[in-house]
A and B are shown apart, each in its own frame.
Chain A
Amino acid sequence: MNLHNIIEEIEKTDPEVYERLDGRREVLKKLTSYSGKIALAGVPIALATMFQKSYGQTGTSQIIDVLNFALTLEYLESEFYVRGLAAAGLIAAVDRPAFETISTHETEHVQFLRDTILALGGMPVAKPNFDYTAGGGSMTGPFADVFTNYATYLAVSQTFEDTGVRAYKGQAANLISSNEILRAALRIHSVEARHAAHVREIRRRNGLLVPAGVLLQPWITLNQSGIATPLVQPSYNGEELTTQAGVNVVGINGFAITAEDASEAFDEPLTKQQVLTIVKPFIAA
């Protein structure tokens, strides 16, 4: 892809394109800088966003903030799977290919977000030090056996994935000014949902740390975590919603839709602050 040619093509129909893009020199400098620094993937997005900004849209710094928030969550997930896969005897052999797939995706998300932030002229946040025991750095939190007990590992995995889905969902509206970034975020969001569904399926099959009498499914029923500890409950509170946009989905139009069905049919967002509160114990200062 020759980015300079793209600009020249646009110049034919809009002679003022360079002025709109802060002048030719600045544009070429940015493009050269991008192509040297980042994966090709980020360039079209950067270009598109640059145009949107120049042609009247605003909010690049807000978009970068959202992407850095997402990056922090992807760092959390990515390292969690790298460490889990490296822990001898932790992950059941039958599940190993799935966790390799999930790990690869999370690492790709980290790379994609870093590239995109750089392409937008932002600075990717540094990866925090994580405490997967949820001890806030003590390394002796309630999930102290997270890398030695598969039941705990799966419970934390499911919680991260379900929380990730809710976190992206909560940020979609903040990306509405950029079609390309919103599209990318949605495409990550649904991957996290696929991951969540599969980890829930793993837990359904082996029953580890699933409360008695709970039938764990790939979707979220009411505000049930399906995990036998109240520690993860904040990641599920609010999922019990059965009224959407003022429409009560229970028994809607005479159909036999239960509260369980209605809650499962719609996943709910979390605010950035809610997510940060959930994640805080996993960050070692």
Chain B
Amino acid sequence: MSNEHFDKKILNAGIFPAAGMPRRKFLTVAGLSAGSLMFAASCKKELGDDPQLTSEAHSLGGGSDGGKAVVNLGSGDTGILNYAYALEQLEAAFYIQVLATPYSGISDKEMEYLTDVRDHEIAHREWFKNVLGNARIGGLIPNFTSIDFSSRASVLGTAKALEDTGVSAYNGAGELLQSATYLLYAGKIVSVEARHAAAIRDMLSYGSFADSTAVNSMGLDLYRTPPEVLAIASNFTYTKIISKNLPTS
């Protein structure tokens, strides 16, 4: 992939059509620069008063959806789709920040892969948003304070955790869907998440794409229930995610 292509991809960092947008404004909107992270953090205290933030923090999680202090995923298939939408928001926000402030020593190939992964997660996030329509939860407010975006180990370690968690979440959510159509779409997405997980694992440790931390002795991949997944996800968002109405079987 040429540098020119990279530049285009970076310019189109996935938030808004970037043409004509001043660079500083773009970085603020697209990513989670240190300042905007602090901004998001500082918002936390005020969210009880105004859960519907009107600032640029909106774009951090749910794309053009607003950042919410609390979301309720709802029930039935809608609840499961919102659950997936929430996870895709966090994944997308994470990779947007990764590409906005690449870790030191990032290789061209790592940049290429991570750019693609970011764009896939944005595509997933926006697709769920459109499919859910008015039934969707708002935007989550990411909390990435535990991540050192300048560190390759921190970024790729987090990416591995997010992708493996995503795979386990979809593998556990399939049986909770009533609609065969939605099940098919979940299947279309989960294998891409598994490709991501394998690629990131191979970046961290070549050959670890499907090691025993991901695949058990019967050849089965990870699987988690929504409460198990949301306990992990809560480490990456300030938003309280209410899941009590999700189906359990």
Main secondary structure of the interface of A (DSSP, over half): helix
Known interface pairs A182-B174, A245-B131, A265-B124; A198-B209 also in contact (CB < 8 Å): yes
Known interface pairs A172-B187, A218-B198, A269-B188; A184-B220 also in contact (CB < 8 Å): yes
From B36-44, B97-105, B138-146, B177-185, the one touching the partner chain is B177-185
Main secondary structure of the interface of B (DSSP, over half): helix
Instruction: Assess whether B231 is interfacial by the CB under 8 Å rule.
Output: no
A219-235 vs B, Cβ < 8 Å mask (1 yes, 0 no): 10000000000000000
| Residues in A whose Cβ lies below 8 Å from that of B223 | 183, 186-187
Give the complex CA separation of A266 and B185 in angstroms: 8
Instruction: Assess whether B16 is interfacial by the CB under 8 Å rule.
Output: yes
Known interface pairs A186-B190, A218-B199, A265-B123; A255-B14 also in contact (CB < 8 Å): yes
**B11 → A minimal CB distance (Å):** 8
Instruction: Assess whether A56 is interfacial by the CB under 8 Å rule.
Output: no
| Residues in B whose Cβ lies below 8 Å from that of A111 | 218
A169-200 vs B, Cβ < 8 Å mask (1 yes, 0 no): 10011001001101110111111111111100
Give the complex CA separation of A247 and B220 in angstroms: 32
**A103 → B minimal CB distance (Å):** 11
Considering the complex, which residues of chain B in the window 197-219 have a beta carbon less than 8 Å from any beta carbon of chain A? 197-199, 202, 207, 209-211, 214-215, 217-219
| Residues in A whose Cβ lies below 8 Å from that of B9 | 256
A252 near B183 with CB under 8 A, answer: no
Give the complex CA separation of A252 and B130 in angstroms: 9
From B48-56, B69-77, B112-120, B150-158, the one touching the partner chain is B112-120
**A113 → B minimal CB distance (Å):** 10
Known interface pairs A179-B249, A191-B220; A102-B210 also in contact (CB < 8 Å): yes
| Residues in A whose Cβ lies below 8 Å from that of B18 | 256
Instruction: Assess whether A131 is interfacial by the CB under 8 Å rule.
Output: no
B210 near A105 with CB under 8 A, answer: yes
A186 near B171 with CB under 8 A, answer: yes
Give the complex CA separation of A218 and B9 in angstroms: 18
B217 near A267 with CB under 8 A, answer: no
| Residues in B whose Cβ lies below 8 Å from that of A190 | 167, 170-171, 190-191, 193-194, 221-222
B218 near A194 with CB under 8 A, answer: no
Give the complex CA separation of A17 and B180 in angstroms: 30
Query: Which of B15, B190, B191, B192 has most A Cβ within 10 Å?
Result: B191
Total count of chain A residues near the partner, CB < 8 A = 61
Instruction: Assess whether A279 is interfacial by the CB under 8 Å rule.
Output: no
Instruction: Assess whether A253 is interfacial by the CB under 8 Å rule.
Output: yes
A249 near B127 with CB under 8 A, answer: yes
Known interface pairs A183-B172, A264-B116; A169-B12 also in contact (CB < 8 Å): no
| Residues in B whose Cβ lies below 8 Å from that of A219 | 116, 120, 192, 195-196, 199
Instruction: Assess whether A240 is interfacial by the CB under 8 Å rule.
Output: no
Instruction: Assess whether B229 is interfacial by the CB under 8 Å rule.
Output: no
Instruction: Assess whether A92 is interfacial by the CB under 8 Å rule.
Output: no
Instruction: Assess whether B78 is interfacial by the CB under 8 Å rule.
Output: no
**B185 → A minimal CB distance (Å):** 6
A183 near B174 with CB under 8 A, answer: yes
Residue among B13, B127, B219 making CB contact with A108, cutoff 8 Å: B219
Instruction: Assess whether A217 is interfacial by the CB under 8 Å rule.
Output: yes
In the complex formed, the residue of A with least CB distance to B121 is: A265
B220 near A187 with CB under 8 A, answer: yes
Give the complex CA separation of A109 and B192 in angstroms: 21
B171 near A252 with CB under 8 A, answer: no
Instruction: Assess whether B226 is interfacial by the CB under 8 Å rule.
Output: no
**A88 → B minimal CB distance (Å):** 22
| Residues in B whose Cβ lies below 8 Å from that of A194 | 194-195, 197-198, 209-210, 214-215, 221
Known interface pairs A172-B184, A172-B187, A197-B195; A255-B217 also in contact (CB < 8 Å): no
Residue among B183, B192, B194, B217 making CB contact with A264, cutoff 8 Å: B192
Besides the contacts A102-B210, A267-B189, what 6 more A-B pairs have beta carbons closer than 8 Å? Answer: A107-B219, A179-B175, A191-B219, A217-B199, A255-B16, A256-B13
What are the nearest 4 A-B pairs in CB distance?
Answer: A256-B12, A108-B219, A197-B198, A193-B194
A-B contact pairs, 27 of them (CB 8 A): A108-B218, A112-B218, A165-B191, A169-B188, A173-B180, A187-B171, A187-B220, A187-B221, A188-B221, A189-B187, A189-B190, A189-B221, A190-B193, A191-B219, A194-B194, A194-B221, A195-B210, A197-B199, A197-B209, A201-B199, A244-B185, A252-B127, A254-B64, A255-B15, A257-B14, A261-B119, A261-B123
